[in-house]
A and B are shown apart, each in its own frame.
Chain A
Amino acid sequence: MEKVKQKEYKVRKNYFAFFGRQLLLIILTIISLYPVFFMLITAIKSKEEYVFNKFGFPKALALNNFFEVFIGKNFGQWFVNSIVLSIGSVILSLVLAILASYALARYQFKIRDTILNFIISLMVIPPVIMVVPLFVFMSKIKLINSLPGVILIYAGLTLPFSIYLLTTFFRSIPQAIMDSSYIDGCSSLRTLTSIVMPLSKPPIITLIVVNSLWVWNELMIALIFLQKDELKTLMVGITVFKSRYNINIPLTMMGLVVITIPMVALYLFGQKYFVQGLVSGSLKE
């Protein structure tokens, strides 16, 4: 009798713990998702409806907001600028990082680990510290208001993480595999492109996802170095948008939805690699 009671108590306690945990997770989920949900449902309301219906689902869909966003001055141009910057700097950073990491992983030389540690330590330096001298220098060589100039900066800022991730991965490739192709008469560059790179798809995809996301979402550098309206990025544009359409909140929200879609798509495509990459930045123990 006593035993049954105890068991019952234990089961009830487990139920309580189970529902308690479930409840906490559900609350956290709602808090995490609600702002996104609010953005989505507001984006398809008309501005008249938003005045009296802030909270509920839209009664009439105002899908024309989507097209109106692009009619609004320069939005299409900003979109193109963001894409050019993302693709340009991700590719530049990737190529430079692959070459450097190959040297740091393949060869034994005295200051190899000093160089690597130095590069890794740059990961924690906030860009705001470099902004003033970079601006002074870039205005001297007339690279303000120039997309290539900003591509150079973005590539540089994403290099330390990229080199760190790739070097760690390259070092895990057995030396024998690289040596065998070397003996077969392949040059180092050939070994890199035909042996090492095909084996390194996971970290390369990680870097494409992480770095694109970083560049796409970057605000401060874009704000300072691309001041002409036709050179602005989406992130800078949206702050302009917000003040310009302060009375038309649904339109601003649609703008936000449009600039978020590419990155959510990229994240969905590379979720596995993305999480892996971020975690591997910290889990080397």
Chain B
Amino acid sequence: MKTKRRNIIEIILFLLPALIIIGFVFFFPIIRVIQYSFDRVNPRKLSFIGLTNYKILFTDDVFLSGIKNNFILLVAVPIIIFLSVFFAILLYEKMGGWKFYRFVLFLPYILAIPVVGVVFSYIFQLNGLLNFLLEKVGLKFLMADWLGSSNWALWTVMFVIIWKELGFGIVLVFARLMSVPKDLYEAAEIDGANWVQKHIHVTIPQTRNVVSFLTVITIITMLSWVFNYVYVMTLGGPGTSTMVAEYYIYQTAFRYQNMGLASAASVILFVITFIFVIIQTRVRGREEVE
């Protein structure tokens, strides 16, 4: 009995410091942000204004185009998934030099987004490297203001995100492939499966869990981890063509000092992200049952 009580005290002592910090950084702010979203937040007092913040948001074209752009960025998800699986297979089948490739392909993932963003702005700006090259090789008609025109800016930002995130996907799928039993492939070959069939019947089922994990991570990235790219390359512009939910929250809270409205936007972003996480756990749970 005595040791049991001692154990409980020890458990609490070991766990408490971490739980306090987690409460301070995650738990308390999440409760607060929901509360603020129904308030007008002044430096000294909060006044309850019901759903007003939400009503403003849903009539605010800037916010709506932010959400729309987040969803457009989801186009990158299937691209990243496809390229990750494809190149992981290439690396896997061509075992020579995979360490070199793994290092090289992973390098973009190590670099800081602000660094990547600045380098790419010099490549994509109107008098930048890409247009300079296009002019040199006689493809002048392809020149464009990649970051400065509202037709192109979001797609350019998307390209940079794919460039940076792809390495993670490749390494992840590759690591999973390395642990697939080799005889599965041999059996498929003996059965006379060609390259495409082999991968449809062996690789895809074997990597399904990793791919579903990667899918959700990438979806979450596109919805709520793109602030850095936008802040460094476009500041949401031109117009609202690269506005995203996160940048809207930042701007509303820290430029326009409207904490209540920013909180309501945060809650909406949180709900959207949460829905995707639930879908993922559901899908995963179902797969485990199977």
Contact = CB atoms under 8 A, between A and B. Distances in A.
Interface of A: 17-18, 21-22, 24-25, 28-29, 31-33, 35-36, 38-39, 42, 54-55, 96-97, 99-100, 102-104, 107, 109, 115, 119, 121-122, 124-126, 128-137, 152-153, 155-157, 159-160, 163, 188, 213, 216-217, 219-220, 223-224, 235, 238-239, 242, 249, 252-253, 256, 259-260, 263-264, 267, 271, 275, 278-279, 282-283, 285
Given A29-B101, A32-B107, A39-B119, A99 B15 contact: yes
Nearest to B266: A129
B222 to A, nearest CB: 11
A220 B209 CA distance: 31
B104 A33 contact: yes
Given A99-B18, A125-B273, A188-B10, A131 B30 contact: no
A31 B107 CA distance: 12
Contacts of A271: 103
B103 A35 contact: no
Interface string B60-101: 000000000000000000000000000100110110000001
Interface of B: 7-8, 10-11, 14-15, 17-19, 21-22, 24-26, 28-30, 32-33, 36, 41, 87, 90-91, 93-94, 101-108, 110-116, 118-123, 129, 132-133, 136, 163, 167-168, 171-172, 175-176, 195, 209-210, 213-214, 216-217, 220, 223-225, 227-228, 231-232, 246, 249-250, 253-254, 259, 262-263, 266-267, 269-270, 273, 277
B33 A156 contact: no
Nearest to B220: A124
Most interface-central of B118, B195, B267 (chain A CB within 10 A): B118
A132 B94 contact: no
Given A29-B105, A38-B123, A130 B210 contact: no
A214 to B, nearest CB: 10
